[in-house]
Amino acid sequence: MGKRLFGTDGVRGRANVAPMTADMALRLGAAAGRYFRRDGSAGHRVVIGKDTRLSGYMFENALTAGFASTGMNVFLLGPVPTPAVGMLTTSLRADVGVMISASHNPHHDNGIKFFGPDGFKLSDEAELEIERLALEGVEPVQAENIGRAKRIDDGRFRYNERVKSTLAPGQSLAGLKVVIDCANGASYRTAPEVLWELGAEVIPVGVSPDGFNINHKCGSTDTQLAAETVVAHGADVGICLDGDADRVMIIDENGTVADGDQVMALFASRWAAEGRLKGGALVATVMSNLGLERFLQGHGVGLERTGVGDRYVVERMRAGGFNLGGEQSGHIVMTDYATTGDGLLAGLHFLVAMLETGQRASELARRFDTVPQLLENVRYSADADPLSLVGVQNAIAAAEARLADSGRLLIRKSGTEPLIRVMGESEDEALLRGVIDELVAVIGAVS
C-alpha cells in the first residue's frame, strides 16, 4: 500500500486545507505517540520544533494534544532549525522528534516531519504505520496517564554549541565579513549568534519574521537580496539558508551564487585529499549536475546517486557507510556531525575552507563547469496524473531519444507540491531548450 499522507519529506500542504489541518495534526501526534509507546510504559518523550509560520502555533498545539493523549511527555523547542530537532531528539533521550515546517515553501504552506530516537528521519515503513494509525484512529490512555508538556528554553543554545563544536578548538572566523540570510525563518536567531560568537563580522538579512514573510524575497530560493547585500557591503561571502535552515546557498564576493553541487564538490575533494571521505564517494541525487560527476571522477571520488529527497541520500549514506552527501538544492549532509541537512553547519565549514586555503569565496565556490541544465515545473490538479497518460509517455520517450547522445532527461513528480518537474542536461543548449519546451507544453496541456 502506498502512502497517502506522507511525501518525500513528511506531510506537507496548504495550512487549514486537508491534509494539513489541526485535526490531522492531532491524529498524527496521537498515531506517532502510539507507535513510539508500543510497550505501554511511562516516561516516553517527544521534542517538537517549528519554524516561523503563523500556522505553526496551531500545529504545535494540535500535535501536543495528540501526543499527550497517548501518554507522551512533550518538550516544546519553539523556533529552531530542522537539524536542531534531530540533534535534540537524541540529546534529550526522546523517542521521537517533530519539526513543523514546509521548508522553502511560502508561508501559507506547512508540514510535519518526524525523526526517530536516533535523530534520523523515519523509514517508509514507520511512516506507513503512523499513517495507518492516524487514519484508523488511536485509543487514548486513561486520564491518570496523560502526558505533560513543557517549554525547553535553551534548545537553540544547545544547538548553537553543537554546531560550533564541529570546528577545531580555537578556530575563529575573525577577519571575515559575512552576510547571513535567514529567510525570516527558523534560524533567524541561531545563525547570526553562531557567526558572531565565532568572531565574524555579521551582516544579517531575513531576520525579522512576522509569520507571513518566511522565504519571501529572501533565503536560499531567492538569493537576490543576499547577493546585493554582499556587494553593497563589500562582504567576503554570503550564506543563504531556507525557512527551516536545512539548505544553504553560498554567495561569493561578486554576488555569484554557488549551489549545493559546488559546495559538495569542494567538501568531497578536500575530504578525499585529507583521507576522511568515508567510502571514497559522495552521495547525491539524480538531480545533481553531470559536471559534478565528471569533477569527482577527476579527483578519484565516486558518486552514488539516489532518488530526490535528502532522506534517500541519508538512507544510502547509512547503508553504505558514507559520511558526505546532499542535493543540488543545498541540503548538505555530514553525518560525522549531524543526522540531516544543516545549512549553517555547511556554511561554517565553507568559511573554514576559506581561512585554511586563503582563497576567496569565488575561487572555492567554482569547482567545476556545469553542463547546461534546465528545470521547468508544471503544476497539475489534484485529481490528475499526467505521467500515466500514453501521450505524455510517448513524448517523454521521444525526448529521451533526442538527448540520448548528448545528455539526459529526468521527469518526476515533486514529493512536496503538485508539480511535475521536467529536468534535462545537454551540451547542446538549443536542443535542450527545444526538448524541454515541447515536454512542458505536452504535460501542461493535460494537467
Active site residues: 103
Parallel, antiparallel or unpaired: strands 11-14 and 73-79: unpaired
Query: What does 5-45 look like in DSSP terms, one character per residue?
Result: S-BBTBEEEETTBTTBSHHHHHHHHHHHHHHHTTT--S--E
Residue tagged 501559507 (cell numbers): 108
Check if the beta carbon of residue 85 is closer than 8 Å to that of residue 341: no
Sequence letter at residue 100: I
Check if the beta carbon of residue 89 is closer than 8 Å to that of residue 77: no
* CA 250 – CA 255 distance, rounded (Å): 9
* CA 163 – CA 153 distance, rounded (Å): 18
User: Alpha helix locations (H) across 275-389?
Assistant: 290-298, 310-320, 343-357, 361-364
Q: Which of 348, 45, 309 is nearest to 187 (CA)?
A: 348
Strands, E assignment, 136-213: 149-151, 177-181, 201-205
